[in-house]
Chain A
């Protein structure tokens, strides 16, 4: 059997506020196989988003291990973690997190600029632009390439965020309540898009949500309460 594409082993995460240690994750074990979709379900404050950040190497665990393809990665140097994050995972956030000064196309292109030098990018800029346009067309935004986030609807913004997450061809999508800020109709469209791409590309998906119905669409549901996996 292949190693899990993403794994958390006995992950603890504490935050220190003043002299007080606040435990947020308490011994989380989680394995995600390639092509598998996992929903993290739980009440607010259960530690879902923190776990997602730890899995995406945005936040190091206090103790425990994060492994990509079976290799511990949480202790790598910060620059190496950033490169690995770029190659291995793509984030989709509830509030889209697009850069307001950039157009939809530039926001997506940014994902291609993260791990190459300025000179290196110059040589591949046309190919990168073509790939970004193709990705935006795939998410249905072929006509909105040069619009800034402020000129796009919520659903369109989230599609841009999905396109950006996918452009670097990651193996895992980490989605933090991707429909939490959308009306139900728009949310349905975004969900369809996300699951369709995940299925077509064989990507692993870790989806943080409050929505039981959305969670049911995943292969597996992991419920968290007070920083512990309860089922």
Chain B
């Protein structure tokens, strides 16, 4: 029970002391900052997680030994029909890509040998060999190819055409990501490469490669079937480093939403990559090499079933690996991006901590003002005691004061936070249009607009937390007031 005089006096004391506005302003600012910054961060993280999810398969069987073949494992994995809907092979390797140039444009650095490598345009790439037909069934490959040109078109001028390689009815050509005959013929002519005399006689034979849209940002818009040289190096069976190259053509651009993947990865037919690594598909002794197997699980799979299924798959695959092989892994989408997602989550936690410190500063302001108030009101404390105020009631005056400062500050902060989140993008646009100032530089994160995701539970946590913190810091001056000797208080000068 709070005695009636406690809130009555608390409010009178607050409204007659302007310094309390400092405490209210402090709490308001801290709450505002916690809401707005966290809303942007949460929106940013949600976007990242959404993008990472769309760029990642449900499960990935990985950490396979060096010479693992796909077919045997596929049968074992797809045998788990309660869990697995589809699988696709993947082969990861590193390589280099060089745009084929017309001789008259070649620039040779004086003193160097034949090296003419322009790393600003292309360069090293994470080569991901895929079976396009199977890949479509396990990942969003088709939607990635739609999104790629869209992302570019929204940012840059140019002809960012949409790839149609997945619409090729001939499965052989589709699996090689080949361009249409006439398109490749035109590209060869454009690049002074050998080509039939007329288009009718030409049969496209260059395998296609798909670039992430972030790579296209560097190279600029590329025409269909633009030729590239692809160089791969690997250690052969004789333990010697050997390299091989092939001529490939640009078959389209993709955007998964995963920035690092879109920047580094180049997708190409898995058979092309196997051949470059010395594995001839026509050789019966050759291995259908994979480094990973992407798995799509059935849509109705529960989280617990997924956990159990992962263990089941791991055991099934491990049983087929040579004895003594290190354990393979079966990773869900979060585990596949564990480091990245952990880093983002850690960054968000650090941000929240910094903002909490801002809140602590506001709390200390409340403490200081309330403590000062107790010191100034010693005589009043004696008066309250003399006319029948209990120690608890006297303490409550200052506790209610702290609560009021915290609650008013939190409410104002929540109001300001909601308004800021609502109008963040228009204000940011206006600032940029008029003063070339951006609160959040969108280009830094390739964002079309500042993402804002203000969760009601976070608003409640911040608001209640601010009030509780104000109460905690008000407790000390409140206790001091309640324990004051009334006779000494009355005679205080």
- Contact partner, A99, options B7, B9, B388, B392, Cβ 8 Å: B9
Contact A56 B386 (CB under 8 A): yes
Q: Could you tell me the dominant secondary structure of chain B's interface residues?
A: helix
Distance in angstroms from B369 CB to nearest chain A CB is 15
Nearest residue (CB) in B for A120 is B4
Interface centre among B13, B383, B393 (most CB of A within 10 A): B383
Contact A82 B389 (CB under 8 A): yes
Interface centre among B4, B12, B382 (most CB of A within 10 A): B4
| Segment 360-413 of B: residues with Cβ below 8 Å from A | 379-380, 382-393
With A59-B487, A97-B490 known as contacts, the answer to whether A117 contacts B383 (CB < 8 A) is: no
| Segment 79-137 of A: residues with Cβ below 8 Å from B | 79, 82-83, 85-87, 90-91, 93, 97-99, 101-102, 106, 110-118, 120-122
Distance in angstroms from A20 CB to nearest chain B CB is 18
Distance in angstroms from A110 CB to nearest chain B CB is 6
CA distance A110 to B7 in the complex (A): 11
CA distance A204 to B390 in the complex (A): 24
- Contact partner, A82, options B1, B2, B385, Cβ 8 Å: B385
CA distance A59 to B385 in the complex (A): 11
Contact B487 A115 (CB under 8 A): no
- Contact partner, B486, options A58, A101, A120, Cβ 8 Å: A58
Contact B5 A113 (CB under 8 A): yes
Nearest residue (CB) in A for B394 is A82
- Contact partner, A117, options B2, B385, B388, Cβ 8 Å: B2
CA distance A165 to B383 in the complex (A): 11
CA distance A222 to B474 in the complex (A): 46
Contact A58 B390 (CB under 8 A): no
CA distance A42 to B401 in the complex (A): 43
| Segment 1-46 of B: residues with Cβ below 8 Å from A | 1-9, 12-13, 16
Interface size on A, residues (CB 8 A): 35
Distance in angstroms from B315 CB to nearest chain A CB is 66
CA distance A97 to B1 in the complex (A): 26
CA distance A79 to B392 in the complex (A): 8
Chain B residue numbers with a CB within 8 Å of A122 are 4
Contact B4 A91 (CB under 8 A): no
CA distance A150 to B384 in the complex (A): 19
Contact A82 B390 (CB under 8 A): yes
With A58-B487, A110-B8, A118-B2 known as contacts, the answer to whether A101 contacts B13 (CB < 8 A) is: yes
Distance in angstroms from A75 CB to nearest chain B CB is 16
CA distance A82 to B12 in the complex (A): 23
Chain B residue numbers with a CB within 8 Å of A115 are 3, 388
Contact B386 A99 (CB under 8 A): no
- Contact partner, A58, options B5, B379, B386, B391, Cβ 8 Å: B386
Interface string of B144-166 (1 = CB under 8 A from A): 00000000000000000000000
With A97-B379, A101-B16 known as contacts, the answer to whether A117 contacts B4 (CB < 8 A) is: yes
Contact B5 A91 (CB under 8 A): no
Contact A82 B6 (CB under 8 A): no
CA distance A112 to B392 in the complex (A): 17
Chain A residue numbers with a CB within 8 Å of B388 are 82-83, 85-87, 111, 114-115, 168
Interface string of A170-193 (1 = CB under 8 A from B): 000000000000000000000000
Interface string of A19-51 (1 = CB under 8 A from B): 000000000000000000000000000000000
Distance in angstroms from B103 CB to nearest chain A CB is 92
CA distance A208 to B9 in the complex (A): 30
Determine whether A78 belongs to the interface, using a CB cutoff of 8 Å to chain B.
Answer: yes
Nearest residue (CB) in A for B389 is A114
Distance in angstroms from A50 CB to nearest chain B CB is 8
With A97-B383, A102-B12, A120-B4 known as contacts, the answer to whether A114 contacts B391 (CB < 8 A) is: no
Chain A residue numbers with a CB within 8 Å of B390 are 78-79, 82-83
Chain A residue numbers with a CB within 8 Å of B383 are 97-99
Contact B490 A93 (CB under 8 A): yes
Distance in angstroms from A163 CB to nearest chain B CB is 12
Interface string of A43-68 (1 = CB under 8 A from B): 00000000001001011000000000
Chain A residue numbers with a CB within 8 Å of B2 are 117-118
With A53-B487, A58-B385 known as contacts, the answer to whether A101 contacts B1 (CB < 8 A) is: no
Contact B490 A110 (CB under 8 A): no
Nearest residue (CB) in B for A78 is B391
With A97-B382, A99-B380 known as contacts, the answer to whether A121 contacts B12 (CB < 8 A) is: no
Distance in angstroms from A175 CB to nearest chain B CB is 12
CA distance A164 to B13 in the complex (A): 20
CA distance A82 to B382 in the complex (A): 12
CA distance A99 to B386 in the complex (A): 12
CA distance A122 to B4 in the complex (A): 8
Distance in angstroms from A223 CB to nearest chain B CB is 23
With A110-B8, A117-B4, A118-B4 known as contacts, the answer to whether A97 contacts B13 (CB < 8 A) is: no
CA distance A87 to B388 in the complex (A): 8
CA distance A59 to B380 in the complex (A): 17
Nearest residue (CB) in B for A167 is B387
Distance in angstroms from B482 CB to nearest chain A CB is 10
Distance in angstroms from B56 CB to nearest chain A CB is 57
CA distance A122 to B3 in the complex (A): 11
Could you jot down 17 A-B contacts, CB within 8 Å? A58-B486, A59-B486, A78-B390, A85-B388, A86-B389, A111-B387, A113-B3, A113-B5, A114-B387, A114-B388, A114-B393, A115-B3, A116-B3, A117-B2, A118-B2, A164-B387, A165-B387
Known: A78-B390, A82-B385, A113-B5. 5 other contacts (CB 8 A): A58-B486, A79-B391, A85-B386, A86-B387, A102-B12
6 smallest beta-carbon distances between A and B, as pairs: A86-B388, A121-B4, A113-B4, A113-B5, A114-B388, A82-B390
Which residues of B line the A interface, CB within 8 A? 1-9, 12-13, 16, 379-380, 382-393, 485-487, 490
Which residues of A line the B interface, CB within 8 A? 53, 56, 58-59, 78-79, 82-83, 85-87, 90-91, 93, 97-99, 101-102, 106, 110-118, 120-122, 164-165, 168
